[in-house]
Structure 1
Amino acid sequence: MEERASYLRRCPIAVPQHLAELADPSHGQIELPLALAWTGCRAYDLDFPADLAVLYERIIVEATGPSGLEAFLNETLLTRVWHRLYLPSQNRNRWESLFPELANAA
């Protein structure tokens, strides 16, 4: 368990400078690059709630820099689904410390 905790502390957590930078896409189909979708599934439908949640979880955990976030996340959708996302506590805490509006979103 110590090994896993150590990895999680070293793993980079990408965050945007501002949520407003997350302006793409808001509906339709999206296909992730292999760098973000290395586990297999690459295609997601933003209009299907389960796909949206899994896609956002994957991007938030796997993105290594703001450009990966900005290319695939949308501020309005993120705020809407934030409380339904299964995220490592380090990711959730980092995002909510920088963007308290996510923690307060209903």
Structure 2
Amino acid sequence: MRRYAKPIVVADDLSLLRGQTTGVVTLPRHLDWSGAADYDLDSPGRIVDLYRTVLIEATKPDDLHVFLDQAMLTRLWPSIWLPPNLRRAWEERFSTLRRAASEVPAA
């Protein structure tokens, strides 16, 4: 059985991430087809959900630029569950994310 390999999309530069950080964001269907595509960014759980969804489902860099914010991504990075290959691709390109993940105190 062959598995479909979804391409990994990584931003070219974190400074291009200029997404909204407050209010409600509705993701387009190609990013969130669940029927719950409205994300209240003022709710800590929903903003993490939005970032995880966009990172996993992005099909082009513009998806990342429009919906993610550089400072917020860096802050949330350690708490976002991502497939290991996706996390590795981002951390290899951006050492600031690798450092942010390593600076989280152990529970």
Letter in structure 1 aligned against 2:96? E
Q: Specify which of 90, 99, 103 is matched with residue 104 of structure 1.
A: 99
SS in 1 for 2:20: coil
**Which residue number in structure 2 is paired with residue 15 of structure 1?**
10
SS in 1 for 2:11: coil
Q: Is 2:64 aligned against 1:35?
A: no
TM-score normalised by structure 1 residue count: 0.89
| CA distance in structure 2 between the partners assigned to 1:81 and 1:39 by the alignment | 23
5+ long unaligned stretches in structure 1: none
SS in 1 for 2:25: strand
| CA distance in structure 2 between the partners assigned to 1:98 and 1:58 by the alignment | 20
Aligned residues: 101
| CA distance in structure 2 between the partners assigned to 1:41 and 1:14 by the alignment | 23
CA deviation vs aligned residue, 1:56-96 (integer Å, no higher than 9, x gap): 00000001110111110000110010010010001100000
| CA distance in structure 2 between the partners assigned to 1:57 and 1:66 by the alignment | 15
TM-score normalised by structure 2 residue count: 0.88
After the TM superposition, which residues 12-91 of structure 1 pair with which residues of structure 2 at under 5 Å, given as runs? 12-91=7-86
| CA distance in structure 2 between the partners assigned to 1:96 and 1:40 by the alignment | 31
Letter in structure 2 aligned against 1:91? L
5+ long unaligned stretches in structure 2: none
Identity %: 38
Query: CA offset at residue 22 of structure 1?
Result: 0.2
Structure whose residues are more often helix by fraction = 1
